[in-house]
Amino acid sequence: MVFHRAVPNSVGRLGSLLEVFLPWLGPVVVVLFVLALLRRSALALTALLLPVAAWTYLFGGLLLPGAGPGPDELVVVQHNVSDENADPAGTARALAAAEPDLIALEELVPPALTAYARTLAPDYPYHAVRGTVGLWSKHPLTDAGTVDIRPRGITGPWSRGLRAVVRAPHGDIAAYVAHLPSIRVGASGLTSSRRDESAGLLGRAIAAESVRTVLLLGDLNGTVDDRGLSPLTSRMNTAERGFAFSFPAGLPLARIDQVMARSATVRQIRTLPPTGSDHLPVTARIGLG
């Protein structure tokens, strides 16, 4: 757990594969603890204190209760709504019920896009859509544009990056919405080269961003421990509280739907109830002070 970066990615990207499921090494330790009790082995119980300490150091803080809402907070929702969602209007109503300031959506396809826009319009009069990603806001949006995160080898229409400036009460915020390429797990290991390349392009765009405060919301197809997302996690803050496993919706094993911030704090992240998507929506509280 502590030295997961030492596991090489040269064969099957085993390092990244381990990092996707890194928090789940905790239950493995619990099983070993039970076996040690059954064997009545004091040596084994003592040895298990090391992985317990390691897991607590890495993930224990995520279990702590978060502080109450502050006056400088922004609430955001991130959701891959699925291009096969049979109830886009119901999904939109469910997301708006959380009363966020910003809603970021991925896998927007017509005619579902019309249903999202129509349903969200009363409470979110400002929105921007580029390709299959979109941002809805209670606050004015300016300078909306496409962020090119297309990896080499992908031809045809492919637009999964959006940037807009949110005129929030606490000052301007550059909001990025992104949907990185999918990864696959097979007999040969993890296939993530396109995802990693796209993360690098997005990281460079954020590094060049002139607005001081930056938010990134998106389906990044990776966890914050996955080294493939290091072009982003090395530049941005991730959630201080909450695991918020978001995928797959039926049995969530990992949070691949992320909220990150620069010059701001992601104080807490949690999941919302299921929608018609194969992802769970996540909502986060952003401290801007």
Q: For 174-191, what is each residue's pLDDT tens digit? A: 999 999 999 887 766 778
Strand partners, 214: 174, 262
Residue 164 CA to residue 142 CA, distance in Å, equals 6
Q: 234 and 96, same structural domain? A: yes
Residue 106 CA to residue 104 CA, distance in Å, equals 7
The answer to whether residue 22 is domain-embedded is yes
SS3 call for 64? coil
Neighbouring CB atoms inside 10 A of 17's CB total 17
> For the chain, how many residues are written?
289
b/e burial code for range 257-286 (CB count within 10 A of at least 16 → b): bbbbbbebbbbbbbbbeebbbbbbbbbbbb
Instruction: Report which of residues 112 and 184 the model is more confident about.
Output: 112
Q: 172 and 54, same structural domain? A: no
Q: Is the pLDDT of residue 70 over 80?
A: no
17-59 pLDDT per residue, tens: 899 899 999 888 888 888 888 888 888 888 888 998 999 999 9
Which pLDDT does position 247 carry in this prediction? 97
The answer to whether residue 68 is domain-embedded is no
Residue 145 CA to residue 5 CA, distance in Å, equals 35
Q: 77 and 57, same structural domain? A: no
- Distance of CA 230 to CAs 85, 121, 237, Å? 31, 36, 12
The answer to whether residue 231 is domain-embedded is yes
Q: Compute the average pLDDT of residues 217-242.
A: 96
For residue 272 the two structure tokens come to: 């919302």
Q: 168 and 30, same structural domain? A: no
Amino acid at residue number 176: Y
Q: 280 and 241, same structural domain? A: yes
Domain of 161, in residue numbers: 73-287
C-beta of residue 103 within 8 angstroms of C-beta of residue 129: no
**Number of structural domains, the chain?**
2
Interior CA angle at 171 toward 167 and 173, to 5°?
Answer: 65
How many contiguous H segments (helices) and E segments (strands) does the chain have? 8, 13
